[in-house]
Amino acid sequence: MSSTPAKPDLVQQAIQAVRVLEAEVARAVIGQQRVVSQVLAALLAAGHVLIEGVPGLGKTLLVQALARTFDGRAGRIQFTPDLMPADVTGHTLYDQAAQRFVARRGPVFTHLLLADEINRAPAKTQAALLEVMQEAQVTIEGEAHALELPFMVLATQNPIEQEGTYPLPEAELDRFLLKIRMEYPTLAEESEMVRRVTRDQVGDRLNVSAVNTVIKPAAVVSLQRIVASLRLDEQVLDYAIRIVRATRSWHGVAAGAGPRGGIALVRSARAAALMAGRDYVTPDDVKQMALPALRHRITPTPELQIEGQDSDALLGALLEKIEAPRI
């Protein structure tokens, strides 16, 4: 599918770089291998992620560790009901000394932005983040300010506590490449986590000192270009599109995924292929990324929601029925 595939030696270098990045993040983040892999896949695909999980599972630590691997900047915004758009993007101030207005940049001017509990902010503030995610730029008083690449939003929402939250509109959910579910660690992982955090460490400050910086931000942008150029057979593309189209007529789905769902599925499958050490996409890559790429783009019917069935259950049944090509 790519008219200008990356050179084999560049692909091999990229594969090695990604493996090193993943290994370095694991120095700080204990367990959560699936979450780390999916976040890294989203970064390689130049997308944004919505992470759903209870507080205290290490989302902030993951962001800081990932940023350190490529010498990037990490920012954090705690979304609250009184948060204003200018608190996210920035605003202008009158500089008395210079006798002119100057733009004061907001916390979005970073490489990795943790938007904590994004569904606690009103729609107007959420919309301010929408332009940033889509255009990688911020408009302050009519003047556009480009963000430094790579830029990635990692938004979080609590799956349990709903009081005082604003549901994310479908248009905003659709802007996230992946929705990742972060579960509790295993017994062994939790034991190691508690042991490590409480040993010779005072207080609760996050420690990512064990993580080494292995590449620069410009190298991440190069990795993203290589991922976008990986080979994609027409049969694999057709498989991805058939999955997305099937969500629109599948029993139990009130609203299926739109065309952006197919785009997200193919982009993330390309990233999964590189992380698996290949320069081409397989049907398994598509199947592997189907849940995180589509779970937030479909809506189960009220009847199934009452029965406790969620989008993952529907997608799982759908994937079993859609025949994958043999290549």
Structure tokens at 208: 């990512």
Q: How far apart, in whole angstroms, are the C-alpha atoms of residue 90 and residue 105?
A: 4
Q: Are residues 270 and 190 in the same domain?
A: no
Domain enclosing residue 65, as ranges: 1-229
Q: How far apart are CA 145 and CA 136, in angstroms?
A: 9
Are 83 and 121 within 8 A, CB to CB? yes
**CATH number of residue 224's parent domain:** 3.40.50.300
Cα(290)–Cα(287) distance, integer angstroms:
5
User: In three state form, how does the secondary structure of 181-241 look?
Assistant: ECCCCCHHHHHHHHHHHHCCCCCCCCCCCCCCCCCCHHHHHHHHHHHHCCECCHHHHHHHH
Q: Do 184 and 292 belong together in one domain?
A: no
Number of domains in the chain: 2
Q: Give the helix/strand (H/E) hosting 269.
A: helix 259-275
pLDDT given at position 99: 67
Give the model confidence (pLDDT) of 272-305 as tens digits.
999 999 999 999 999 999 999 999 998 888 887 7
pTM: 0.89
CA distance 42 to 269: 10
Q: What is the pLDDT of residues 226-283, one digit of tens each?
A: 999 999 999 999 999 999 999 998 888 888 889 999 999 999 999 999 999 999 999 9
**CATH code, 247:** 1.10.8.80
Residues 238 and 225 reside in one and the same domain: no
pLDDT of residue 166: 67
